[in-house]
Each structure stands twice: as structure tokens, then as C-alpha cells.
Amino acid sequence: MNADPADQRRLLDLADLDARIRRDERVAGNPPQAERVRELIAQRSTLSQELGARANVRDDIAAELKRLESDVSVVDARIARDTERLAASSNAKQAQGFENELTSLARRKSDLEDAEIALMERLEAADAAVAEQEALIAETNAQGTQLSAEAKTTVAEATTRLEAARRDRDAVAAAIPADLVALYERLAARGNGAGLLRAGACEACRIVLPPSDLSAVRRAQTDEVVFCPECGAILVRTEESR
């Protein structure tokens, strides 16, 4: 196949635009922030599970503390009742019974209050553990929100570039003979469509041509379409190819 050297050189512009289009299609479909956002979503799920476990521990302690407080209230009520009865009693034996019960109730109240203090300390630690986990989740959410916003910007910018590159490609392709474009696109669909021959190497595959192949390429007429023996791309020859 023969083609005007100028048209062959335009294939390099087409190849460059195609490379840019592929790159921005990847970015638009999967921005670089996406992987980290997915990691943060998984991390947030794990953190939320741990938060639930810590909240359950805190709630159990709070419920136990509430029960103890209720028990203390009951003991206080009995102490108040027996104190009144003791004050009103004129029977020595009965009074002794009230005094013994008041002593027992005082010990019971002391034990309950000691248990309350221990539970309050545990509740304080549990509250701190919940708050710590909530802070981690908030930080994870903030990172996710920021990265998601950055990803949207990245996608928008890539989409804008894509639209411009596709318009440019249409214009470049329209200026090249249809049969040459069709050949280029068949080759590009399999791998490399076209590459500049520079310093004895095909820039499409970055491989240096063997001397015999290079000599054959250089002997070809300027309008002859030649191909890289390594990757099959159209080898575009310019002044840099000498």
C-alpha cells in the first residue's frame, strides 16, 4: 500500500490522540482516588462493627449501674423507714432489732456504693473507647468525602479532555485517506497502530530494529507504507528516521 508521507505522518497525531483518549477513558472510568475510597469504605465497615461492640459494652455497664442505683435507693428507703421506727420504738428488744438491721443496711449500702464507684470508672473508660472509635469513623468519613470530591473533579477534567481529544481525532482522521485510517485502526485494534521510526527504533514498541530490517525499511519508497517487523505497527518515517 502506498500513501502520501504527509498522511502517514498524520497517523502519529492519530496515535497520540488515541493514547490520550485511552488514558482519559481509564481515568474517567476509574479515577486514581477510587481504590483508596473503596479501602476507606471497607475500613469504615470494620470500624463501625467495633463501635457497635464497644457501645454494647458501655450500655451493659450503664444498665448495671442503673440497677445498682436502684438498689441503693431501696436500701436508703429501708434505712429511713427503720430509723423512724427506731426513734418511735419504746421496746428495747425491738429497738435492738432495728439497730442491727440498720447496721446491716449500712454495710449493704457501702458495698453497693463501692460497686457503683467501680462501675462508674468502667463506664468512663467505656465512654472513652466509644468516643475514640467515633473519632476514627469521623476521620475516615472525612477522608472519604475529600477523596470522593477529588475523584469527581478528576473525572470531570478527564471527561473534558476526552471530549476535546475525540473532536481533534475526528478532525485528524478526516484529513487522512479513509483506506489508510482503516488500516491503522485494524492494526491499533490488535496492538500498535503506528509509530515513528527514530534512531533505528520503533517508538510504538520501543524495540530497535535489526540491521537487515532497518536497511529494508530505509530502502523503501517514501510513499510506501512499511511495518515494524516486531509489533506490526505502521512505521512512519520522517527526517528523524535517517
**CATH number of the domain where residue 99 is located:** 1.10.287.1700
96-148 pLDDT tens trace: 888 899 999 999 999 999 999 999 999 999 999 999 999 999 999 999 999 99
Q: What is the pLDDT of residues 158-172, one digit of tens each?
A: 999 999 999 999 999
Strand partners, 197: 202
Give the CATH number for residue 199: 1.10.287.1490
SS3 195: strand
pLDDT of residue 184: 97
Query: Are 95 and 188 contained in the same domain?
Result: no
Whether residue 226 lies inside any domain: the answer is yes
Domain assignment present for residue 98? The answer is: yes
pTM for this entry? 0.73
Q: What percent of the chain has pLDDT over 70?
A: 100
Asked whether residue 187 is assigned to any structural domain, the reply reads yes
> Can you give the residue range of the structural domain that contains 193?
5-26+175-241
Nearest to 32 by CA among 124, 199, 184, 147: 147
Do both 21 and 95 map to the same domain? no
120, 71: one domain: yes
The residue among 125, 154, 183 that closes a domain is: 154
Q: Say if residue 199 is in the same domain as residue 123.
A: no
User: 230 with 148, same domain?
Assistant: no
In a domain, 112, yes or no: yes
Same domain, 67 and 18: no
What pLDDT was estimated at residue 107?
A: 95
134 and 218 housed in the same domain = no
**Residue range 182-191, pLDDT digits in tens:** 999 999 999 9
83 in a structural domain: yes
CA distance 193 to 232: 8
One domain, residues 21 and 65: no
37 and 141 inside one domain: yes
**Residue 159 maps to a domain:** no
Residue range 20-52, pLDDT digits in tens = 999 999 999 999 999 999 999 999 999 999 999
- Cell numbers representing residue 181 in the block: 485510517
Evaluate whether residue 162 is within a structural domain: no
Determine the pLDDT at residue 37.
95
Same structural domain, 87 and 111: yes
Cell of 113: 456504693
Q: How much is the mean pLDDT over the chain?
A: 94
Q: Which of 97, 125, 154 is the last residue of a domain?
A: 154
Residues 233 and 148 occupy one common structural domain: no
**Count of domains in the chain?**
2
* Domain boundary residue, one of 154, 188, 203: 154
**Helices of type H across 89-210:** 92-174, 178-190
What number is the average pLDDT over the span 227-241? 92
163 domain-assigned: no
- The answer to whether residues 36 and 146 belong to one domain is yes
pLDDT band at 95 (very low <50, low <70, confident <90, very high): confident
Q: Listing from the earlier edge strand, what are the strands of the sheet with 201-202?
A: 207-208, 201-202, 194-198, 234-236, 226-227
Pairing between strand 234-236 and 194-198?
parallel
Residue 177, classed as helix, strand or coil, is coil
